[in-house]
Structure 1
């Protein structure tokens, strides 16, 4: 495992080769990324691949066989290889192995590019099908950010806002971390169209949101001052914080996904899961999200 440092003007970022995980994101010397205190959650910004969320009972089916995958897949626990390293950008790559093929029978190549510009970090995924058969996968982000000027004694610690004029809808992970698509909820926003962050906002665990009409999510301070914005063009946005473990949790996760949790009780083919991506042999997939400070 190695740590790769990139910088651009007032911006800097550190990326680990383990999981190609962002470890630090600073602007003018201020840290914006959660630093992984295990008392709350030891992650910082894991890459979710080849699934986002869970498959039912951690088991899925493909081509008449059963395979096992744990929550969010295996990429976050694997060593990536630096492919290109520059002053303000880095590209890391991960290729399928005999071990990954045992739990995920699709040869693949995954590249992740981190690039700094003026007060912005862009993260680009590039997935290529290296096999002869059609490949099915999901991919997602899981960055955690400090809540600005966090006060654990405040009734409202901060806010989320969205760029959609419509009230966002969401699903709740239920039994074994899976969802019931028919049980859609309308998000309860305040008079300013914002979602307050309180000690109980995440009592439901995770908001799995339909983001086809949402392309940005902004984190605000308790005074409603914009702090950072995550921009994306993906079908799902997840919001999460482990307040079920600690009510004084000082961070939140803003997670754009090209994927979703499995449906409760789903026992069909892997390709038929909710929000799947498919590639023919030799084809590639690419998507980008941005963290704007």
Structure 2
């Protein structure tokens, strides 16, 4: 495990999946991340690449050839090369190996750089095209936070609050067919917050496209502790609390999402996919702010 630390926060990171394991407030001693109960959900914040969500039948077509890849892609199953640059900064690197090329034929260089600045943990993802052709990919984060934060609390007292009032339509996931349906329903009508209720996630994540807000926050009615989550250069936002897993809320910045049900086109035609020319670089970033 990799440790980042300053006077405010202690961060634990895993090179496998370039994943945040713990964010501990040194003032209150709380771990603000999901506790990683292996019997429920063993992860906490893997980096998703080169897909977000699921492919139809776990298959995708690239230049006419069929490849197999499981949900959220291979990044979360791979060990990144680690370069700890200081007590407050680490750089993880992933490049294709033989197993990766069986799933995804493009050459790339993925860096995930974590930087601790006061009460904020910044995660910057950089993808460089090292191929001789244009490459296509999706990328995202999956950080799951403790909800509730403390014992003897209820998640029913917690709410998600957007920076601004929003009018947003929620994309509806077809759980049975493991894909995105073509249906939407109104989530916000010039509103900015909703209370966390497990029934909201019966159809998996709440997914919205291009909110105007630069951040969303996780807050409680009972105290002033909060998490503010900043998003930069993502085109979708997923919010997830599995009906089978209590004690967490995931705030997931995505570029792209699961295949639409029935989609059998080329990978490059997936909605929200990044199109990256030879030698070009793509950057997206999220930042977790802890208010103890």
TM-score of the alignment, normalized to the shorter chain, above 0.5 = yes
Moved more, 192-201 or 46-55: 192-201
SS in 2 for 1:39: coil
Once the two structures are superposed, residues 202-247 of structure 1 have per-residue CA deviations (whole angstroms, 9 ceiling, x without a partner) of 122111111342321110114484611110021100011112x25x
Q: What TM-score, normalized by structure 1, do the two folds share? A: 0.91
Stretches of structure 2 that go unaligned for 5 or more consecutive residues are none
- Report 1:129-278 matches (<5 A): 129-149=129-149, 154=154, 156-174=156-174, 175-181=176-182, 183-187=183-187, 193-223=192-222, 225=224, 227-233=226-232, 234-243=234-243, 245-246=244-245, 249-278=246-275
Query: Larger % of strand: which?
Result: 2
Q: Distance in 1 between matches of 2:252 and 2:284?
A: 14
Stretches of structure 1 that go unaligned for 5 or more consecutive residues are none
- Number of equivalenced pairs: 286
Check conservation: 1:148, 1:227, Cα contact below 8 A.
no
In the TM superposition, structure 1's runs of 4+ consecutive aligned residues that sit over 3 Å from their partners are 148-155, 222-226
Check conservation: 1:131, 1:281, Cα contact below 8 A.
yes
Q: Match for residue 89 of structure 2?
A: 89
- Report 1:16-35 matches (<5 A): 16-28=14-26, 29-35=29-35
Check conservation: 1:40, 1:242, Cα contact below 8 A.
no
Alignment root-mean-square deviation, CA: 2.0
Q: Match for residue 6 of structure 2?
A: 8
Check conservation: 1:122, 1:291, Cα contact below 8 A.
yes
Query: In the TM superposition, what is the alpha-carbon distance from 1:199 to its structure 2 partner?
Result: 3.1
Tell me if 1:63 matches 2:63: yes
Query: In the TM superposition, what is the alpha-carbon distance from 1:187 to its structure 2 partner?
Result: 1.0
